[in-house]
Structures are given as C-alpha cells and as structure tokens.
Chain A
Amino acid sequence: MRRFLLGSIVPVLFLGLWEISSRTGLLTLESLSRPSDILVAGIHGLLDGSLLLATLQTCEAALLGLAIAAVIGILCGAMLGLLPMLERITGPTIEALRPIPAIAFMPLALMMFGFGVTLEASIVAYACVWPILIVTVAAVRAIEPRLLDIADVLELPFWKRMLTIILPAAFARINVGLRVAAAISLVVAVTVEIVLDPRGLGYHLILASQELKIGLMYAQLVWLCILGYLLNAILRNVGTGSFTLWGSAR
C-alpha cells in the first residue's frame, strides 16, 4: 500500500501540474498538449478503431518477423550447438554480422520488398534472430549427452531427432531467447514504421505529429507504453507456463 501511494506521487504530481499550468496559461508551448486532451484523443482513437487497426498491423509484422527469426534461429542454433566445429568456423562471421544494426538494412529491404508487411518482418527477423540463435546454441550444448546417445542408438533421422529429443530438451532455455526476441520485435516494428513503412502504430505516431495533432500523438505514445507493459507482463507469465509444459514431459 505504501509502495502504491509513493509510486503514484510522481505521475499524479506531474500530470496535475501539467494540466493546471496549461489551463491557467502558464504553459503555452505548441508542442505540449494537456493530459485531459490527450485522454480525449486517446478515447476517440480507441472508439473509431484507428488505434486498434494500427496496433494489429504492427503486431502482425512483429509476430511474422519473430516467427521467421524463431525458425531460422532455432534450426541454425541447434545445428551449431550439435557441431562445435561448425560453430568455431562460422563464429567470427556471425560476430561480424551481429553488430550491424537491423535498422540499417531497412533501405536494402525496401529495395527488395517494397513497402508493406514483408519489409517490416524482414527487419524484425534480422534483429530477433541473434538472441534466439545464441541462446539455442547454449541450450543445445547443455543437453544431457545421454539423451543424444539414445537418439544415436535408436538411429533416429534428423527431423525426428530434432522434434522428439533436441527441441523438447532445450526448449526451456530457448524460451528465454524467444522472450527477449519478442520484446525486441515490437520495438523494431515500431521503429521501421516511424522511419519508413506507412502502416501501423509508428506511422500513425509520426503522422499525428506532422499534422500537429499533438494530443493524438501523446495518446499514441501512452498507448505504446501500455502495449509494451502488457507484452512484458504476458511474456513473464507465458514463459513460466510453457516451461512447466515441456518440463513435465521431460
């Protein structure tokens, strides 16, 4: 209770002072709206569906990119984890590619795919593949060697070995990488929209600011905060849930 009260002091004070000073005319900056206007703009955006549509578009791109990254990252990661020699050979190349900011590939992706969800998903995939790859390598390497021996004895073909032994055994750890990547995917999707792609939340944000709909712009910013906060909360819970799912099968 004490924590809640203390925690609400800063935002309440901040919003209150902002509202009062703009009502009384102390603050007349064009670039500041006022909290009540922001709230109204936000409710409008929610009711006429534009905010939700933009959210869907952003989530679509983020999820698609994340899915591509998960498939590539887990497959390559499992391969590199099983074959340490391959990892040593490709390591420096991976280390050289990884620090290139995914955003820098945007112009290239634009030339290849044009505007749209593919452009966004490809950038998201590049950004998300690294954490998944690295975690998967570590996870596969940490698999109990006896499990792999069993796969050898049973002479399982590659796909079966992957699906029945390797992925279930490594999933709890891979999950950590997936959660990190999921948080990244939303950020990257919004960034691509802000800079380039005319769809989704990021684009509507930049559009609102260019049309000087300041209240709407702040409302979208707050909406993004809420979205990110919810995503983090979901990831925390889903993470532990699927952990027990696979864990009990083990």
Chain B
Amino acid sequence: MKQFAFTKLAPLAFALALIGLWQLLADLRLISPIFFPSPTRAFAVLEYRLADGSLWVSLAGTSLRMVFGWALASVAGVILGAAIGSSRLARDLLDPTLEFIRPLPASAVIPVAILFLGLSNAMSLTVIAFGAVWPVLLASVHGFSSVQRELADVSSVLGFGRREFLQKIALPSALPDIIAGLRVSLAIALILTVVTEMQSSLPGLGWDIFFAQRSYRSADLYAGLILLGALGFTANHLILLLERRTLRWRTLRT
C-alpha cells in the first residue's frame, strides 16, 4: 500500500505542483498574461471549445491527416523496405539515391509540394508521407535483410516461391523491426501534420495554435498545445499496445 502511494501519488503530486506553480506565476503577473495565461484560463478555453464542438473538428482534422499520412508512409516504407532488404540488386540500385535524399528536412519539401498540389490535403499528406517514410523504411530494410538463415533454408525446403517467402517467412520475422519503425514514424507524422497545417491554413490543431497567436489569444494557444500533447501521448501508447499484442508470440517462444 505504501509502495502504491509512492509510485502513483508522488508523480501526480509533482505534476499538480507544477500546474500550481504555473497558476501562481500567472497570478503574480511576473510575466505578461498576454503570452502567459493562467492554467485555469487555458483549461476553461479547453472545456468551452470542447463543449461547443469546434475543438473536436480540429482534433479530428489533425488526427485524420496524421493517420492517413502515416499509413501512406507505412505502406510505401514496408514495400520498398522489403524490396531493398531482400534483393541485393534493388539495394545497389536505390541505396545511394535514398541515402542522399534521406537527410533532407521533410519540411523543405513543402514549397515543392505546394507548387505541384497547391494548399491542399493532398499536399499535406504527401509531405507527411515523405517525412514519415524513413524510419519505417530503414527498419524494414533491416528486418527483411536479417531474416535468419535457417528460416530461409526452411522456405526453400518447403518449395516456397519468392512471394510466399516474403509473406510467410520474411514479413513476420521483420515485424518487430517494422513496428518499432512505425512508432517513430507516427511521431514524425504528427510533427509534419502540425507544420503543414500552419503553412497552408488547413483546419486542425496546428492552425488553431497559429491563429490563436495571430489574434493574441494565448489561452487558446495553450489549450491547443495541451490537446496536441494529449494526441501525441495517446497515439504513442496505442502503438505500444499494438506492439505488445502483435508480438506476444515472440515472448512466448523464448
């Protein structure tokens, strides 16, 4: 019981103390309330805008953009990763080009994407997918290229074709790597969602925050930040859950 009290209550008390400190600093008006509103104001805005539905719309826009962009990146990353990871020819052909493009900051693609696709959701999704593809791609390349020798032998004994080998042997064996990559990709997808929303005025949390600053409504800004943090936190934990679910067989085996 004492253990429980410590591990659960102390962290909570710390978080509350921080919020209390924030409230105190805001009430003392040491920093201008124009950009440092009290937490009560921020939470009031959060409550009000959740109640009237406007924040849900933004949240939905941001989540959908993040998830679709991430899904695009995942599919592209796994397919490309499977090709590069399982064929030496594909690796030699594509590796240098990819290595050259990879360090490019994904947000730098925004101007090009705007020229081709305009200020649209398609532009946003393209940029998100471009930025989020790298972790999945690298993880899949690693996963597919490090399939155990014995497993490859088994598949040739069973007379598997290339497709069957990839589906039944290589993919499950690469899955732990891929899911780890997917988790990093999701975090990047959220970042790029916010960036593209700010850059091209797409309705979402990123744009909300940007707009709140332009109209000097700092409480709205903090409300948006809180919700964005909650979204990132939830998304990360959902993937961790998925990881534990899908990889249960691995822990059982060993």
Measured CB to CB, the residues of A under 8 A from B are: 2-4, 6-11, 30-31, 88-93, 95-97, 99-108, 110-112, 183, 186-187, 190-191, 194-196, 202, 205-206, 208-210, 214, 217-218, 221, 224-225, 227-229, 231-232
Contact = CB atoms under 8 A, between A and B. Distances in A.
A181 to B, nearest CB: 15
Given A11-B97, A93-B18, A195-B107, A104 B194 contact: yes
Contacts of A4: 96
A143 to B, nearest CB: 25
Interface centre among A107, A196, A229, by most chain B C-beta atoms within 10 angstroms, is: A107
Given A209-B111, A224-B104, A229-B100, A107 B213 contact: yes
Interface of B: 6-7, 10-15, 18, 34-35, 89, 92-97, 99-112, 114-116, 187, 190-191, 194-195, 198-199, 205-206, 209-210, 212-214, 216, 218, 221-222, 224-225, 228-229, 231-233, 235-236
A231 B229 contact: no
B92 A92 contact: no
Contact of A100 (B13, B95, B99, B229): B229
Contacts of B105: 186-187, 190-191, 202, 224, 228
A222 to B, nearest CB: 9
Given A99-B232, A190-B108, A194-B199, A7 B97 contact: yes
B104 A225 contact: yes
B198 A31 contact: no
A183 B188 CA distance: 14
A105 B221 CA distance: 9
B111 A205 contact: yes
Q: Taking chain A's interface residues, is the majority helix, strand, or loop, or is none over half, making it mixed? A: helix
Given A90-B11, A92-B11, A221-B108, A103 B225 contact: no
B34 A209 contact: no
Contacts of A107: 209-210, 212-214, 221
B40 to A, nearest CB: 18
6 contacts: A10-B97, A31-B116, A96-B233, A99-B232, A194-B108, A221-B112
Contact of A111 (B18, B35, B115, B206): B35
Contact of B110 (A3, A186, A194): A194
Given A107-B212, A194-B199, A225-B101, A89 B14 contact: yes
Given A2-B92, A110-B213, A195-B199, A221 B221 contact: no
A93 B213 CA distance: 25
Contacts of B114: 209
B95 A7 contact: yes
Contact of B221 (A108, A194, A217, A228): A108
Given A88-B7, A95-B233, A108 B107 contact: no
Contacts of A209: 111-112, 114-115
Contact of B225 (A10, A100, A228): A100
Given A101-B194, A102-B191, A108-B222, 17 more contacts: A4-B96, A6-B89, A7-B93, A10-B97, A88-B11, A92-B12, A93-B11, A101-B191, A103-B195, A107-B209, A107-B212, A107-B213, A191-B107, A194-B195, A206-B110, A229-B103, A231-B103
Interface centre among B99, B102, B111, B206, by most chain A C-beta atoms within 10 angstroms, is: B111
